[in-house]
Structure 1
Amino acid sequence: MKITGKITADSLMTLEAYSKYRKENKLAIMAHRQLRSVHLGEHINLQFESETSIRYQIQEMLRLEKIFEAEGIAQEIEAYAPLVPDGSNWKATLLLEYPDVNERKRELARLIGVEDRVFVEVEGHARVYAIADEDLDRENDEKTSAVHFVRFELDPAMCAAVRAGANVKLGCDHAHYPAHVMIPAETLASLAGDLR
């Protein structure tokens, strides 16, 4: 899988080439995704996206749906490419993980707005709250969704601090889900690579 800085139809593999690549590289891709996942408390998992993870997602969708025509490929790129960080931000898939169906239903009703209360705090700088679900609204008056797409926009000083080795806290100050955690050093090193 070639990282080019921009996902285009020409930069994706054919279904046949991807099938071979997938067999040889699935463990490495899963390790990359694991490295960029941060658990916030017991039930929130933020999977920070990258060009690698989004290329993998697009290639998987093309494989699963057996999409090989230009229009279908363009639709998949249009759906997922906006999730690639673009130098001044981190983008993540926020998952609310409740294995028990009844608990999930109850908690999704209590956690309306949680996606707007998740933040990153670069050491020495103010908190940056997530900008959530820019593609479509994922909650209603009764519950929030179990999946949200969030973006943390960092100013140039924050980007420089992260690249220089500053610690970063990930947190949530929702009334029903107060939690925070320091982003592990290995994960932060990977995330620093997203910033210019």
Structure 2
Amino acid sequence: MPHLTRNTLWSLEEYAERRPTFRQEVMAHKRRRAVHLGPNVTLLFEDEITVRYQIQEMLRIERTFEAAGIQDELDVYNPLIPDGSNLKATMLIEYPDPEERAAQLQVLRGIERAVWLQAEGCPPSFAIADEDLDRENNTKTSSVHFLRFELSEAAITALKNGAPLGMGIDHPAYTVALEEIAPETQFALVSDLH
């Protein structure tokens, strides 16, 4: 998959004009790329559109227009774009109550490495988590993780031929399995694969 460059981003002025329409498009796009694993974990599968939105929003909020600042944002977010043999997701651990969230983040240490995807008939692919930096310590995990799922050629072929895509988490304190995800979500994710 191509990565974004300074030349493919919109200027702050152009983004200000495009933002209302683009934002609506991105929110609908993200809904098709979201998978809820139980009541407290959501995977938001990234692609060029979701990453473009994140970068454009960061540049807008920070009013960044210098080349070095733009490149810094590109360097941070481009790795989230899948490259044809993998799927990449932002994992959100969500507990509305702050005290419960703090307690659960202690119990859920290591959950980011217990997330899996599986094309029917193929072995599961477990997440490679937080390649940019550790997001857990000796006492707790983070509420946000960045995951990469490397898929075998057999799994990619199976998915492209219509095999259901399942997902889940095998953690002692949080176990969930979906035998297959929504068809519109599967279609969106399979389009990320070569």
Q: TM-score, normalised by structure 1?
A: 0.97
> Which secondary structure does the structure 1 equivalent of 2:125 belong to?
strand
The structure 2 residue matched to 1:178, chosen from 175, 178, 186, is 175
- The aligned counterpart of 1:122 is 119
Query: 1:128 deviation in Å?
Result: 0.7
Q: Deviations over 1:70-127 (max 9, x none)?
A: 0000000000000000000000000000010010011000000000000001100001
Q: How does 1:1-196 map to 2 (within 5 A)?
A: 5-181=2-178, 182-196=180-194
Q: Partner of 2:74: helix, strand, or coil?
A: helix
The amino acid of 2:88's aligned partner reads: K
19-28 or 105-114: bigger deviation: 19-28
Give the distance between the partners of 2:100 and 2:3, measured in 1 at CA. 40
Superposition deviation, residue 24 in structure 1: 2.1
C-alpha separation in 2, matches of 1:96 and 1:170: 16
Give the Cα–Cα distance (whole angstroms) in 1 for the partners of residues 128 and 22 of structure 2: 32
Structure 1 residue identity aligned to 2:142: S
Q: Secondary structure at the match of 2:188?
A: helix
Q: How high is the TM-score relative to the length of structure 2?
A: 0.98
Which stretches of structure 1, 4 residues or longer, exceed 3 Å deviation after superposition? none
Q: 1: CA distance between counterparts of 2:153 and 2:17?
A: 40
Report the alpha carbon displacement of residue 160 of structure 1 after superposing the two structures with TM. 1.2
Q: Percent identity?
A: 49
CA RMSD of aligned residues (A): 0.9
| Matched residues, number | 193
In structure 2, the gaps of 5 or more residues are none
Deviations 1:122-168 (A, max 9, x none): 10000110000000000011000000000000011111111111101
* CA displacement 1:8-51 (0-9 Å, x = unmatched): 00110000111111122221110001110100000000000001
What amino acid does structure 2 have at the position aligned with 1:38?
A: V
| Runs of 5+ unmatched residues, structure 1 | none
